[in-house]
Amino acid sequence: VTRGLEVLKNVPCETICGHRTPLLVNTGLETEIHRALEHGAEGIGLYRTEVSFLLHDRFPSEREQVDIYRRQLEAFKGRPVTMRTLDIGGDKALPYFPIEEENPFLGWRGIRVTLDHPEIFLAQVRAMMKASVGLNNMRILLPMISSVGELDESLLLIRRAHRELSDEGVECRMPPIGVMIEVPAAVYQVDALAKRVDFLSVGSNDLTQYLLAVDRNNARVSSVYNAYHPAVLQALAIVAKAANKAGKPVSICGEMAGDPAAAVLLIAMGYNVLSMSSSNLLRVKSVLRSMRLDQAQQLLAEVQQMETSQETEACLDRALQLMG
């Protein structure tokens, strides 16, 4: 735990004026559970299920998945655990399920793969629901949704899995379902998506990649990849506004949420929850606790006048330094 910040572990993340923003963590490896608890996480905002699939040499069975998921849910008993359905493809290939394509980030990825293989999707969703029996802290998150049709198809399969389990005598509640906003098309369809789900979560890593047409892992163009690009900030504001209007909670689970300066802008935009790597949690909490919401909103208004990411970053640096 970052030295000097340990004292913040058990205090809430709230501004001086009392605006609360639960800070959740992103997990994948099981070792991250312990680290998350050590940093005072209020829940899991993104559990990347593909990480455990990567550690196997074949698809884990439904039974094996129940055990894996149960450990995450039990460790965070009483706190929300957001389980994302398999997001393979792109840069994440399973050795036992090779996908060879020229443009993997524009190819068979995330929900596209699992909707083409409903047996994989159903086994996973059934395992998540079974694992949550008696705990009821599980939420399902759908990756890479780029149309309403994909969402509707996913929702049908989730309801089917729930019905099957009830018929088998497994008494599990229907979990809250959320959609990731990480493809530009989803930003423009946010109203239609929001009304179909219980919550939204923005994947700023992919959203930045797709909005700026820049591979998030390519070092040669890494200077083009910038979440402070005015177009990215504008998209993020549109999503928060639409979610607030629809009365649906909205979080952000990309790397950006763990950057204190970005966190200030995000709460000002109306994001209700931030999910990040454990290592950033206390630093973000420390900054948010040192300011008022109206200061964050004023800073956002200033930033929204800027036309380049360089100006924006310089402005944020100045503002954060002034606040100490």
Contacts with ligand PEP, residue ranges (CB under 6 A): 46, 48, 87, 182, 203-206, 253-254
258 lines the binding site for Mg ion (CB under 5 A): no
Q: Between residues 8 and 111, which has the closer beta carbon with respect to ligand PEP?
A: 111
> Does position 178 bind Mg ion by CB under 5 A?
no
Report d(CA 242, CA 58) in Å as an integer.
40
Chosen from Mg ion, ligand PEP, none, partner binding at 268 (C-beta under 5 to 8 Å by type)? none
Nearer to Mg ion, 209 or 278 (CB): 209
**Residue 253 contacts which entry, ligand PEP, Mg ion, none (Cβ below 5-8 A, type-dependent):** ligand PEP
215 binds, among ligand PEP, Mg ion, none (CB under 5 to 8 A by kind): none
* Nearest approach, Cβ of residue 42 and ligand PEP (Å): 18
- Compute the least distance from the CB of residue 217 to ligand PEP, in Å: 11
Parallel, antiparallel or unpaired: strands 199-202 and 177-181: parallel
Dihedral (C-alpha) 287, 293, 297, 299: value to the nearest 10 degrees? -30
Beta carbon nearer to ligand PEP, 29 or 301: 29
- State which residue has the least CB distance to ligand PEP: 203
Q: Provide, rounded to whole angstroms, the least separation between the CB of residue 139 and ligand PEP.
A: 15
Task: Give the Cα separation of 312 and 264 in Å (integer).
Answer: 13
Closest CA to 82 of 206, 186, 203: 203
Nearer to Mg ion, 141 or 161 (CB): 141
- Quick check: 90 binds Mg ion (CB under 5 A)? no
Binding partner at 175 among ligand PEP, Mg ion, none, C-beta below 5 to 8 Å by kind: none
The closest alpha carbon to 291, from 255, 319, 313, belongs to 319
Residue 204's binding partner among ligand PEP, Mg ion, none (Cβ under 5 to 8 angstroms by kind) is ligand PEP
Q: Does 32 bind Mg ion (CB under 5 A)?
A: no
In the complex, the smallest distance separating the C-beta of residue 182 from ligand PEP, rounded to whole angstroms, is 5
Compute the half-sphere exposure of residue 283: CA atoms within 13 Å on the CB side of its CA: 16
182 versus 215: smaller Cβ distance to Mg ion: 182
Give the number of residues written for the chain: 324
Nearer to ligand PEP, 252 or 296 (CB): 252
Residue with smaller CB distance to ligand PEP, 43 or 295: 43
Q: At what angle do helices 293-303 and 260-269 cross, to 10 degrees?
A: 100
- The contact set with Mg ion (CB under 5 A) reads 182, 203, 206
